[in-house]
Structure 1
Amino acid sequence: MPIEADGIKLVTLLEAGEYIASLPKKEHDAREWRSAMEALLLVVERGGPTMFARIGIKRALNRHYVPELNPKGKEPHWGRRKLKRDQ
């Protein structure tokens, strides 16, 4: 399944490696991209699971995403379930 990155579809490991290599130096040296490169090399050189490379690239692409915090926490359960004997 391809990964969408800046309007480019990364389908193969080679395309993912070329995309990482084409990043600006400041972004290329970010910790998340270095981890993605290590995972990619693990897959290519050692035959590791391709899911490692996919996860590494997805995490690097989404490193600035901050999930919205719900201050309420868990949504309340409105009312109790009535048992057959209580009816």
Structure 2
Amino acid sequence: MTKGWGRPFEEPIVIAGRTPLCTLRDAGEHIASLPKAQQQLPHWQAAAEALMVVAERGGPTMFARIGIMRALNRHYVPELNPKGKEPHWGRRKLKRDQ
């Protein structure tokens, strides 16, 4: 597996109002352009660490992509549907109940 900051992501990371992050270098420059207070947050620290491991040790670029995406989407909370899918055993009518 090749190493280096010029390696492209399998699929570019699209950020609203910016050019897409296509390579590991683009993602590193994006993290470096953040304010210092934001860079020190744990999710950005984890993303930067994943990015460095992939670039310097030759890991899969998907690891770095996941780290960046988790940091970018840190405020997203999936909507919880408490009803969800109802169990199948609650719908069946027995002959004695008719």
TM-score, with length taken from structure 2? 0.73
Picking from 32, 36, 45, the partner of 1:34 is 45
Structure 1 residue 7: Cα displacement? 2.3
Q: Does 1:2 align with 2:12?
A: yes
- RMSD of aligned alpha carbons: 1.7
Q: How far off its partner does 1:76 sit?
A: 5.8
d(CA) in 2 for partners of 1:5, 1:76: 40
Aligned residue for 2:96?
Answer: none
- Structure 1 gaps of 5+ residues are 81-87
| Consecutive unaligned residues in structure 2, runs of 5 or more | 1-10, 93-98
- 1:24 pairs, out of 20, 35, 38, with 35
Paired-residue identity, %: 68
CA deviation after TM superposition for structure 1 residue 75, in Å: 4.2
Segments ≥4 residues shifted beyond 6 Å = none
- Match among 58, 61, 64 for residue 53 of structure 1: 64
| Bigger mean CA deviation after superposition, 38-47 or 2-11 | 2-11
Could you state the TM-score of these two structures normalised by the residue count of structure 1? 0.82
Asked whether 1:69 is paired with 2:77, we answer no
**Comparing both chains, which one has the higher relative contact order based on Cα–Cα distances under 8 Å and sequence gaps of 6 or more?**
2
AA aligned opposite 1:3: I
